[in-house]
Amino acid sequence: MSQSDVRSYIYYSSEGNENREGAGAEIPRELINNALLAIGEELLKNNREGMSREELEHILEELMARELMKANSSKSADDKGKDTINNTARSMLAYLEEQGYIKKGKKILTNKGFMRIGILMLKDVLKAFKSNQFGMHETSKSGYGTTLLESSKRYEQGDDLRELNVAKTILNAVERIMSNSKGKCKVDIPIEFKVEDIEQYETVNEISMSIVYCIDLSSTMRYCAMNESMSRIEAAKKALWSLYILNKKLFPSDTIHLLGFGALATKIDARDIPYLKTFEPGHDFLHYTNYQAAFRLAVKLLRSTNAAKKRIVMITDGQPSACFVDSDAEKERILAARPYSHFYKPDRLTIQNLRYEHGISIDTSSGSLVYLCYRYRQVDPYIAAKTILEAKKCKSMGIDIDTLMVSEEDILLKFVNDMEKHVKGRSYYINPADLSRVLITDYIANKRRLVKGS
């Protein structure tokens, strides 16, 4: 793309300017996608509640500067080039607003913008694996269903004729006529069909599923391997955003719930994924990691559906540091073994402030007292046992559990693997510094493999 090409991408609002002399060419789709992706990647950064118009213009200016540098193979732009960049960035911003991708306010993404950026991120992830295999949750039984297969079968009384394989049906009739006449007569048009000629496409019964995606918002999720690399929470939000879009596009009949958790859990809206922040010490003791809080709230959400299959997907850095204390006797046992233990009872004022200031409704009904114990690069044995016990309860209710571990410290994968062994689930390991490498440990198929993108 040459400098003149960049200059020509000028968009005028439709409010009386569409015939304005000197208006540039239509903005290329690739450039629009790059702009939306750049905005999405910026929103993923931790502790960003939204984005001002000035910040948006700056992001688009940086994008256009990179495009200009690629086109000219130069390290900087002259004054003319800078004017071009600024004008094009403002034109791009006007275009994105008019097309309904962004809106004014802190939370700038519209539903259209949220979905479009999610699709672009999903394509980005799939491109890293050089794969177009999305995977399907379906049965191997033929019959009534929503997914048509390439294979077909003979018609049976009661089958749905709307899924008729016309070409195969005609071929069957021709073969029958020729066979009966032993090849001595020609096939006349119109062809006379019989019931045994009719063939229809086979279908696969998709299993209705209810799924809860649980994203870890504890303070350790803000860490990153190096200053310039993607943090755990950024990688986790990108994974969640992509998974949500994948579910909505491939399985629109599925019921999808989202929740975030620290020491306690909260239900979240899908469109808030880009703006999620980690809990910090200023939020009382919510910055610890309590898997039990996620499991218990997830179970409540899953009970509201009658789907054939139910699943919980944990997106976490793999290190629980808290669990519920369900009785005074249990608290006494902990104190007897660990005299200096710390406990947390949710502070009502903090919970109210989170609701009023950030729109976060913390679930306090799943447990009233939390045992806290953070250990560097290891999990407290008592918390580990309680967490695994809670996971096994979910499994006993017919709920599958998979874990996507996002961390640069693969030593923490041991706990995740131990938990998944008990529930016969799957664990996936992603290093935020290298998202094209995923270690998949599949205890259902009893396999261990490394999937690597180039």
pLDDT tens digits for range 153-178: 776 766 666 677 888 888 888 788 77
pLDDT above 70: percentage of residues in the chain: 74
- Angle, helices 111-128 vs 232-250, to 10°: value is 100
Q: What are phi and psi of 445, to 5 degrees?
A: -90, 0
For residues 259-288, one letter each, b for 16 or more C-beta atoms within 10 angstroms of the residue's C-beta and e for the rest, the string is bbbbbbbbbbebebbbbbbbbeeebbbbbb
Q: So what's the pLDDT on residue 445?
A: 61
* For residues 313-339, average pLDDT: 94
* For residues 251-275, average pLDDT: 93
What span, in angstroms and rounded, lies between the C-alpha atoms of 424 and 399? 11
pLDDT tens for each residue of 335-373 = 999 999 999 998 888 888 888 877 889 999 999 899 999
pLDDT above 90: percentage of residues in the chain: 35
Q: Please give the DSSP secondary-structure letter assigned to residue 221.
A: G
Which residues have C-beta within 8 Å of that of residue 386, sequence separation ≥ 6? 292, 323, 324
Give whole-number Cα distances, 449 to 253, 400, 412, 415, 453, in Å.
31, 21, 18, 18, 13
> To the nearest whole number, what is the mean pLDDT of the chain?
80
Q: Which segment of 199-208, 257-266, 332-341, 406-415 scores lowest on mean pLDDT?
A: 199-208
* For residues 202-216, average pLDDT: 81
Q: Please give the DSSP secondary-structure letter assigned to residue 187.
A: P
pLDDT band of 83, cuts 50, 70, 90? low
Q: Is the pLDDT of residue 298 over 80?
A: yes
Beta bridge partners of 401: 312
Q: Which segment of 58-72, 232-246, 301-315 scores lowest on mean pLDDT?
A: 58-72
Q: Is the pLDDT of residue 309 over 80?
A: yes
400 token code pair: 């599958």
Most confidently predicted of 94-108, 326-340, 432-446: 326-340
Q: So what's the pLDDT on residue 6?
A: 43
Closest residue by Cα to residue 320 from 272, 391, 270: 391
* For residues 13-39, average pLDDT: 65
* For residues 181-186, average pLDDT: 67
List the domains of the chain with CATH numbers. 3-109 (no CATH), 138-206 (no CATH), 209-452 (3.40.50.410)
Q: Which segment of 215-229, 369-383, 428-442 scores lowest on mean pLDDT?
A: 428-442
Q: Which segment of 144-148, 336-340, 380-384 scores lowest on mean pLDDT?
A: 144-148
Specify whether the CB–CB gap between 68 and 85 falls below 8 A. Answer: yes
Of residues 140 and 311, more confidence is placed in: 311
pLDDT band of 26, cuts 50, 70, 90? low
* For residues 438-445, average pLDDT: 64
Q: Is the pLDDT of residue 2 over 50?
A: no
Q: So what's the pLDDT on residue 389?
A: 97
Q: So what's the pLDDT on residue 179?
A: 78
Q: So what's the pLDDT on residue 22?
A: 38
Most confidently predicted of 49-63, 104-118, 259-273: 259-273
pLDDT tens for each residue of 405-416 = 988 777 778 899
Query: What pTM does this model have?
Result: 0.77
Q: So what's the pLDDT on residue 203?
A: 64
Q: So what's the pLDDT on residue 124?
A: 78
The terminus-to-terminus CA distance of the chain in angstroms comes to 26
Q: So what's the pLDDT on residue 269?
A: 95
What span, in angstroms and rounded, lies between the C-alpha atoms of 174 and 178? 6
What span, in angstroms and rounded, lies between the C-alpha atoms of 432 and 407? 6
Q: What are phi and psi of 112, to 5 degrees?
A: -65, -45
